[in-house]
Amino acid sequence: MSTHDDAILDDAARWRSRDLAVLWHPCTQMREHPDVLPLLPVARAQGPWLVGHDGARTLDAVSSWWVTLHGHTEPRIAEAIARQARTLEQVILAGCSHAPAVELAERLLAIAPREPSRPPLAKVFYADNGSAGIEVALKMAFHWFRNRGDEPRRTKFIALQNGYHGETIGALSVGDIPLYRRIYAPLLMQAVFAPSPDAYLARPGQSGEGCAEDAADALAHLLDEHAGEICALVLEPLVQCAGGMRMHHPAYLRRVRELCDVHGVFLIADEIAVGFGRTGTMFACEQAGIQPDLLCLSKGLTGGFLPLAAVLATQAIYDGFLDDSRERAFLHSHSYTGNPLACAAALASLDIFASDDVLVRNQATAARMAELARGIAAMPDVADVRQTGMIVAFELAPGGDRRAAFEPARRVGLRAYRAALERGVLLRPLGDVLYWMPPYCIDESQLALLAETTRAAIAEAVA
């Protein structure tokens, strides 16, 4: 580009062009940028708003890929990170210890889902993103059985159809979203996939609970069929987020917990997306009254400021690695394991949950989201509106027919995305599913803008 061209471009256009010259964006067909797929340069952010170089505001209705909890640049978290950065920015966590890592582990264990009849989750292993956390949990479950030595056939995992657990090879192996998985299939380890309890798949006249019971029966058969071969089952409790915000009845989770116990299989709860209040309770498992053997947390863990993951494990799993031999130890590590800045951000986020009574405030916000969603449910091409806590999803299908789908070539979801963006709202549909997953600070007028824009975006996309 010549200097003359450069001079007549505005700031946003200049950043767009510098970006596309050097960046390769995540989860993007780069050929679509910028003509088919807009590229939004963000100069700063505050609360639920992303602010462009020209000062124009865009409402972040997807919490920047589900990580931003309380709001962008929340001053208390920003301050905690700054303070920590001046004190201890990073230290090797093998052989060293630091207060933020210890305190965060103590507090996570204290709030973790708990069944009175079970020994509680007792130990925390840190990783630095969600996929890495899943890898940790899978390796721990497998290695625990290796260490015990008496069940050498336990080498497989069970996961759910339409589930998502991240993009690294191990996490992708237990994921079931063809768009992300299919091309890499030859590289992946074999997992066993059980039917999803997804209530959207209920037969006509069947309740969500009935659908969940059917899926649990199918899981029971699979566990029988693979008796002695499975080391762990991994699932996203209550909401399969990347799979289109598909939701299921908590009865399924209770059945899964029982079945895992009967078959001696570890239950890994992936609360990377649904943890920290997203579903209305601090953790989704609470709504089923179940406690997993391994709990994976990330995304909102730091309030959305820094990458961090935590895997919570039972004492029994931890004890299975104690030995005189180093090989029986869990020799997994990441350079930034337990980074103090990320731990300080997570501690500040937990403080906000307490001081601002976030879960209680969210009940009112979620109720308002439900009211606003009701108006959109009546639109002709909306086949389903579903909600779990602070997540509302709109399933678009021609004529609102649950068994139909728009021609993929129509790019209905993409058209809705563009229409919303032009109106100052960042919705990022999953296929033809639009959803609201806003930062918890979203207020009444912002919710009204979100609802009005969603309605307009749907109308424009299906026109």
Q: Which residues of this protein are in contact with ligand PLP, per CB under 6 A?
A: 129-131, 134, 164-166, 236, 241-242, 270, 272-273, 298-299
Closest approach, Cβ 455 to ligand PLP, in A, equals 27
Closest approach, Cβ 236 to ligand PLP, in A, equals 5
Q: Toward ligand PLP, which CB reaches closer, 174 or 458?
A: 174
Closest approach, Cβ 407 to ligand PLP, in A, equals 28
Q: Which residues contact 278 (CB under 8 A, 6 or more apart)?
A: 66, 239, 284, 300, 388, 389, 390, 391, 437
Q: Toward ligand PLP, which CB reaches closer, 180 or 321?
A: 180
Q: Toward ligand PLP, which CB reaches closer, 58 or 129?
A: 129
Q: Toward ligand PLP, which CB reaches closer, 311 or 447?
A: 311
Residue nearest ligand PLP (C-beta atom): 130
Q: Which residues are annotated as a binding site for substrate?
A: 65, 164, 299, 333, 428
Six-digit token pair at 361?
């405030």
Closest approach, Cβ 448 to ligand PLP, in A, equals 28
Closest approach, Cβ 172 to ligand PLP, in A, equals 10
Closest approach, Cβ 2 to ligand PLP, in A, equals 39
What's the CA gap between 448 and 293, in Å, rounded?
41
Closest approach, Cβ 321 to ligand PLP, in A, equals 24
Q: Which residues are annotated as a binding site?
A: 65, 130-131, 164, 270, 299, 333-335, 428
Q: Which amino acid is at 350?
A: L
Q: Toward ligand PLP, which CB reaches closer, 104 or 311?
A: 311
Q: Toward ligand PLP, which CB reaches closer, 274 or 457?
A: 274
Residue with tokens 């129509």: 410
Closest approach, Cβ 273 to ligand PLP, in A, equals 3
Closest approach, Cβ 62 to ligand PLP, in A, equals 12
Q: Which residues are annotated as a binding site for pyridoxal 5'-phosphate?
A: 130-131, 270, 334-335
Q: Toward ligand PLP, which CB reaches closer, 215 or 383?
A: 215
Q: Toward ligand PLP, which CB reaches closer, 302 or 314?
A: 302
Q: Toward ligand PLP, which CB reaches closer, 236 or 286?
A: 236
- How would you write 168-208 as a 3-class SS string? CHHHHHCCCCHHHHHHHHHHCCCCEEECCCCHHHCCCCCCH
Asked if 275 contacts 283 with a C-beta cutoff of 8 angstroms, the reply is yes
What's the CA gap between 237 and 247, in Å, rounded?
9
